Amino acid sequence: MRKTGALLVCLGVYIAALAAALLAGRLLRSGHPLFVAFIADLVATIVIFAFSVIFDNSSFYDPYWSVAPPLLALYWLTAAGIPATANARSLLVLALVVLWSVRLTFNWARRWRGMEHEDWRYRGFRERYASLYWPVSFLGIHLFPTIIVFLACLSLYPVMAFGGGVGRSFELLDLLAALVTVTAITVEATADRQLHRFTKDSAKPDQILCKGLWARCRHPNYLGEVLFWWGLYLFCLASSPDHWWFIIGPVVMSGLFFGISVPMMDRHLRARKSGYAEHMQRIPALIPRLIRKKK
């Protein structure tokens, strides 16, 4: 199947997942919005997983990471009643989340080659777990990221559900939150664009990207992603300081990248690129070095 056809199939799968989530939400409409959203999120994940099994490709789940957050934000906004809950803060945050989502989803679509293309991490799981691959895929590739993203999206709930903060006008913390979030989106977009150009133009498979943002840290795209969720949390504090404990979201998200994503990617690149071990000694992982070391 050609890439265009594969993308259309994937779109159909996500429409089916959305329909299932909406049905679950309707059945539970009398419940608390956080509970309803979580159950609908799980239902949609199960639908995506079913199609991953049918098409024997766990990469069907990959866009879920960027598709789910704006839908959760929109649900919490509408559940509380528009226009009563919509103000400058909530609309700004929703716009930023949609911008982040569209860009990240486009980046995935640009890199995904079709039905025959599955993320290298999932192929590694297939080899490692063999007959247990699909239970591992459900728990580790589908369910675990869904829970992580949902926890990170908790920051959106006070902003959307409480009218961006009842009695709390746009303030200095909002400006800081906007600065962090816009910077995060810009860093991630720039890093992905530089990586795409490098991958397209590089003639040597052993070559290491060490230009632009990639000269400051090894994983600037991951850095942008982590900053994005902290930016949303700052909006949460500006909207409702009582929900400070939603910090669990960006903390867990940061732990995912620092503790799992970065080490896994480094091991993968170290095995494929002969000079990557030395590159790791020179370039920090996520926290950028403002002044470059001389070679």
- Dist CA 138 CA 142 (whole Å): 5
Is 287 contained in some domain? no
Residue 127: what pLDDT? 92
CA distances from 50 to 13, 45, 67, 137, 220 (A): 10, 9, 18, 11, 33
pLDDT of residue 293: 55
CA dist 160 and 166 (Å) reads 11
d(CA 66, CA 106): 10
- Does a structural domain hold residue 288? no
Give me the domain span that covers residue 181.
3-282
Q: Is residue 291 part of a domain?
A: no
Confidence (pLDDT) at 290: 64
Rounded to an integer, what distance in angstroms lies between the CA atom of residue 266 and that of residue 281? 12
CA terminus-to-terminus distance, the chain: 47
Q: Which residues contact 124 (CB under 8 A, 6 or more apart)?
A: none
pLDDT score, position 168: 62
If one counts the domains in the chain, the total is 1
224 belongs to a structural domain: yes
* In a domain? residue 294: no
pLDDT at position 26? 94
Query: What's the pLDDT at 161?
Result: 86
Q: What is the pLDDT of residue 203?
A: 61
Question: What does the radius of gyration of the chain's CA atoms come to, in whole angstroms?
Answer: 20
Per-residue pLDDT of the chain (295 residues; tens, 9 = 90+): 788 999 999 999 999 999 999 999 999 989 999 999 999 999 999 999 999 999 999 999 999 999 999 999 999 998 877 655 578 888 999 999 999 999 999 999 999 988 888 999 999 999 999 999 999 999 999 999 999 999 999 999 999 987 655 546 678 999 999 999 999 999 999 999 999 999 888 767 788 999 999 999 999 999 999 999 999 999 999 988 999 999 999 999 999 999 999 999 999 999 999 899 999 999 999 988 766 555 5
Token pair listed for 205: 């498979």
This prediction has a pTM of: 0.93
